[in-house]
Structures are given as structure tokens and as C-alpha cells.
Amino acid sequence: MKRIILLLCLLVVAIAAPFIIPGKTLLLTEIIITALFALSLDLILGLAGIVSLGHAAFFGIGAYAAGLFALHFNADPVLGLIFAMLISACAGLLSSFLILRGNDLTRLMTTIGVAMMLYEAGIRASWLTGGADGLSGFFSDPVLGLFEFDFAGQVGYFYALAVLFLAMLVVRQIMGSPFGVSQMAISQNPVRAGMLGIAAGRRIIAIYTLAAALAGAAGALLAQTTSFVSPDVLAFHRSADVLLMLVIGGTGWLYGGLVGAVLFILLRDWLSVLTPQYWMFWIGLLLVILVLTGRERLSMLLPRVLR
């Protein structure tokens, strides 16, 4: 019950945010989309214990799928979102078999390899993706036929917020379900989980496919709200950034991706204005302090420092 109240309070704050700071609507939209992307990674990292540095592959697939769907088939954003999720889920299903065997290092290298191959394919297939110039020339129809995307970005923000809220409700149910508990058991001790009769392989495939679908939804939202898709959606730094957000916000408690996305993007926006050339240094310093001090100890020391 407390978590539901917390989720509703966060929703109220998110709804009021564009009216409180109207000049930052596009930045807020980026935070919402990135939070959804981080939530998808938290499914496989927080529940299944799979570290991935290639999760941007599914984000990019969703972005290109939504852009191509709007360009060649139908400009309805909801249909494009569903199509992007299905394509990303298929990609996650196919690549999930590659991570069933081996240890954490093998899985890490496999995810990086898949993302690198897709990045090069996206650049080389210029006839389909636009190559290094990106995919453009597509637009989205009004959401549900009623709300047209505006230049200020408010419709895009609330559209992305609605998708994030629904995704968080779904993930919350999964975390509290027997399926979610079994995923945590597999991540902590796969041998003992197998002795209890838990089919680890099928559950890893299922959670990896679902995470890919949510990452594809985040990519589709980016494409639909900006009407442009660049090869950057498949770049390695996007996977590294979202993993860093989960390190900052914490894994396995639903709100880690949201907290990490808010802190990372706001810090990046603020530090890039103060020190345009060295803002990554301060992000790295924060990460080192967080890791060495510990999130719990840091949360206890921060109020004393502020006082």
C-alpha cells in the first residue's frame, strides 16, 4: 500500500512538473524516456542479475522500428509503439539464447557484441535507416486521435509519462509475483533454484524478452517525440549511461531507474553549463564517492552535511 501511495505521489509531481518549470519540458521528456529505459534494464539486472552493456541494442531497434513504421505504414503513435515493442521483444527473444550459457563475463561480452553489430548494421544499411545521417521525414499523428504533438513538447511529455506509469505498474506486479521471486532466486543461487524445480532458462528468456520490449518502447517514444532517429540510439555510451543510472539509483526496487535518470540528467545538464569540457569528471567523481561510501551511509551523512 505504501508503494502505491508513493507511486501516485510521484505521478502527481510528474504531472505538475511541466507547469512549474515550463521551459524545461523537453528535458523532462528526456528524463521520462530515460527512466523507462533504465526500468527495462533493472528487470534483467535487479531481478535476473544479468549485467548488460548492450541494452541500447533494443532501445535502438525500437526507435528505428517506430520511425520506419510511421514513415512507411501508419503514423499513429500508439500503433507505432506497439509495433516497436513487438520487434524489440523478438530481438530480445532471439538474443536471449546467447546469454543462457557462460558466466557473467561471457554474458557481458555477448551483450556488447550484439549491440556493436547492430550499431554497424544501422550505419551500413543506409537504404533503410538513413545511415550516419539518421532517419527523418516522418511525423506522428495525434495521440488517440485527440492530442496533437506540439512544438513545446507538452503532449509528448504526457504521452511518455503515461507509458512510463503503465510500465511501472506492470513491473511492480512482476516483482511481487512468484515469477519475480523465482527470478531473484535464480540470480542469487541458480544451482539451488534448479534443485527446487525452477526452470531457470525459460524464466531468463522471458524476463530478457520483456526487458527488450520495454527498452524498445523507450526508443519508440524518443523517435515519436523528436521525429528523428540517429545511430546514436545504438551507441555504446547509451548502454553505459543507463547502467550508471542504476548504480546511482539502486537496482531491484522499482524506483532506482527513475531516481538515477533524474539525478544523472539533471547533473549532466547543470554541470555541462558550469564546466562544458569537464562535466564527465564530476559525474565520475560522484560515482567513485557513491561506491566507496555506500548509498546507505551517504544517505545518513547527507542531512548532517546540509545542516
Contact in structure between 156 and 27 (CB atoms under 8 Å) = no
pLDDT tens, 36-46? Answer: 999 999 999 88
Spatial distance between the Cα atoms of 216 and 223, rounded to a whole number of angstroms: 11
73-93 burial, b at 16+ Cβ within 10 Å, e below that, comes to eeebbbebbbbbbebbbbbbb
The mean pLDDT value of the chain amounts to 85
Question: Which of 106-115, 124-133, 137-146, 159-168 ranks highest by mean pLDDT?
Answer: 159-168
The Cα 84–Cα 205 span in angstroms is 19
Question: Does 8 have pLDDT greater than 80?
Answer: no
User: Does residue 277 carry a pLDDT above 80?
Assistant: no
Strand, coil or helix: 148: coil
pLDDT value, residue 299: 56
pLDDT tens for residues 171-221? 988 888 888 888 887 777 776 776 667 777 788 899 999 999 999 999 999
Confidence of residue 306 (pLDDT cuts 50, 70, 90): very low
What pLDDT was estimated at residue 60?
94
Closest to 163 (Cα-Cα) out of 231, 215, 234? 215
- At 231, the amino acid letter reads P
Distance CA 132, CA 296 (A): 44
The band of 163, judged by pLDDT with boundaries at 50, 70 and 90, is: very high
Q: Which three cell numbers stand for residue 85?
A: 515493442
What are the two backbone dihedrals, phi and then psi, of residue 147, each rounded to the nearest 5 degrees?
-110, 110
- Span 19-46, average pLDDT: 89
Let me know: does 212 contact 88? Beta carbons within 8 Å. Answer: yes
What confidence tens digit (pLDDT) does each residue in 80-130 have? 999 999 999 999 999 888 887 767 778 888 888 889 999 998 888 888 888
Whether the model clears a pTM of 0.85, i.e. scores above it, the answer is: yes
| C-alpha distances in Å from residue 252, one per residue of 85, 101, 246, 266 | 22, 23, 9, 22
Question: What pLDDT score was predicted for residue 22?
Answer: 79
| Per-residue pLDDT at 303 exceeds 90 | no
User: Could you tell me the pLDDT band of residue 269, with boundaries at 50, 70 and 90?
Assistant: confident
The predicted pLDDT at position 217 comes to 96
